[in-house]
Chain A
Amino acid sequence: MSNRGQAQYLRIFDNSQTYTRWQSYYINQTITLDSASWTYNPFNADGMVSGSAGGSNVTITVPATATAISVFTAALNQNRLCEIKTYEFDTRLSNTAPQAGQSLISSYVGEVIKISGSFVELQVSLGSALSPVGAQVPPRKFTTLLIGAPLRT
């Protein structure tokens, strides 16, 4: 029998503040981790991959509550970041609050790049707005403002 438990934590933030802290392990509890409060919200995040570019396909599945829709659509509209952390711990020792000796086994930071789903469930994809197609660099182009009407040879 495995004694390994894994708890996931979700944080939505930007440069100025944190907007949402959720955890999905301690049911109906608000727990404290890293001196911050994490409220219970059922979700799971899968597809967290570290390594070569192209492998990550992180998807958060969450009930389509009004709160969840509001949180994630705001994140999508405002380019907020979403951080998922997974901690591992011994379930025999405590299931009421995060254990001091738990280990961080994965972490992922991405922008909310896509939201889809049904009326009752949302799938939120994380990644970056860096599109694999389309010209992006050099970032600046010669414009009329920069060079006027240029010489024609």
Chain B
Amino acid sequence: MYAIEIQNLSKSYQVGFWKKGLRPALKNLSLCVERGETFGFLGPNGAGKTTTLKLLMGITFPSSGTAKILGRHFQDPEIKKKIGFLPEQPYFYDYLSAPELLDYYGRLSGVSAEERQRKIPATLESVGLNDAGNTQLRKFSKGMLQRVGIAQAIIHDREILFLDEPMSGLDPLGRHEVRELIQKLKDAGKTIFFSTHILSDAEALCDRVAVIHKGQLRGIGVMNELRSAAGTNSEIIWQGANALSAVVRDVTEPHVTGELVRATVAREQQDRVLEKLRQQGAVLISVTPLHGTLEEYFLAKTSQAEAVQP
């Protein structure tokens, strides 16, 4: 059983004065997330990430397609006891204090009174809000609100967490703390589905990622494979500037400093270039394989106007 299984989910909005036009926000999204996986849902702004989450949470209704969460229909209210959701830039009832908010949400999620009593202080502590006391939320900073958001998403034992841009608007310290939190949850075996456009966060935390652009899924795969798939180059440093002319067509970005040359070569060309350099009498200093970055993969997938499914 998958944790999350999305099948051909689509959503189009009616636009225009007479609501006659259709603007597609999501086109036939299909993907699966394993249990215990940390899954990154990447895409530029407006790609359809938040739309997907809103569809899964039942905030809007799909134009077509369906999804399953832990094997049950995604709109089954009972399944919501097993999921937690942190929306983008969350806004909470500002007249409540943090413990009151968690108590309210806990009640709505069916957490019993004594469990709430136990868990609320613990949860607040785990997000670093244990000294928030009874301050009303309207006095909280953005970072604190984000933490409250995470707290309400984990107040009771969820198996799956849906996070929409959990790091947005946080300062570096805040982001670090949130990252740690997510890591802790990951270590505890939770399934985490988080959407972001900040690639470094995804790189640090995710097992698998999907790239979505203009409402369509452009790429999906395991993090490490994607990185190395993007990176197929090596960097060669040699001594003997005169040898450059022999390989200049096979290398890119040559930098010459005195007698030392540094250049990048595609991995397929690597052996041939090395051979040519030896023939020229250059002295090899180093050959280093370059890892590609997620960024390159991302840019590659989001640059095309039309895309095909991988």
Are A and B a genuine interacting pair, yes or no?
no
Query: Hey, which bits of chain B sit against chain A, CB under 8 A?
Result: none
